[in-house]
Amino acid sequence: DSGVTQTPKHLITATGQRVTLRCSPRSGDLSVYWYQQSLDQGLQFLIQYYNGEERAKGNILERFSAQQFPDLHSELNLSSLELGDSALYFCASGPLAFDTQYFGPGTRLTVL
Amino acid sequence: AQKITQTQPGMFVQEKEAVTLDCTYDTSDPSYGLFWYKQPSSGEMIFLIYQGSYDQQNATEGRYSLNFQKARKSANLVISASQLGDSAMYFCAMREDTITGANSKLTFGKGITLSVRP
């Protein structure tokens, strides 16, 4: 158990819908990262937050957004969902910006 | 250009034997970190080992060791005394430590499937 929690574990929804994935980092970790794992793209970095502020963006679609709250938990919002958004979404956390990232169990999103 | 290359499509090893999983990387940053993660069939990503670019010695964590050859830009994972529970997908990843420190994302390879035979 990495200490990073993600909810829900599984999510099944329809095209065009909007969903919110939630992540609670390890106690004391200030950095939160979101990654997407799909069969065709592999593991890709989406976005990073550090102590409430957006630090870096990767291959994140405009339909996706994220935020980190004062209690350091983070949410990833996915809207206007498409079939191709079906993937395993990971949240990871680390103490500072340049530390080992510990991954949560992931949220498996299926868009039908 | 691919930054992390894992070309072995699948590896098989006999229980209790050692196995090496290959990883090569490409970066122009002098400061970077290399990581290995394990992903069992259940899906979670488990951190195994870390090697910093300035570390003089190869990293070790229990049965895991990292064979770091900086000049060759390789960071191979060695698993000693394989166990059935080692059967999983293994990912090599790199973090480029930019001067500004703005982005500490991980870039992953495509992964290698390891199967341990009893």
* Residues A32-47 pLDDT 10s: 999 999 998 899 999 9
| B80 pLDDT higher than 90 | yes
Query: pLDDT over 70 for what percent of chain B?
Result: 93
Sort strands B112-117 and B10-14 into parallel, antiparallel or unpaired: parallel
Q: Is the pLDDT of residue A97 over 80?
A: no
Using the predicted structure, report yes or no on whether residue B102 has a pLDDT greater than 60.
no
Q: How far is CA A72 from CA A53, A95, A99, in A?
A: 10, 11, 17
Q: Is B100 on the interface with A (CB under 8 A)?
A: no
Give contacts of B 59-78 with A, CB under 8 A: none
* Residue B36 contacts A, CB cutoff 8 Å: no
How many contacts, defined by CB atoms under 8 Å, are there between A and B? 61
Cβ-Cβ contacts under 8 Å for A93 (sequence gap 6 or more) = A4, A23, A25, A26, A29, A31, A32, A33, A101, A102, A104
Residues of B in contact with A42 (CB under 8 A): 108-111
Q: Evaluate if residue A18 carries a pLDDT over 80.
A: yes
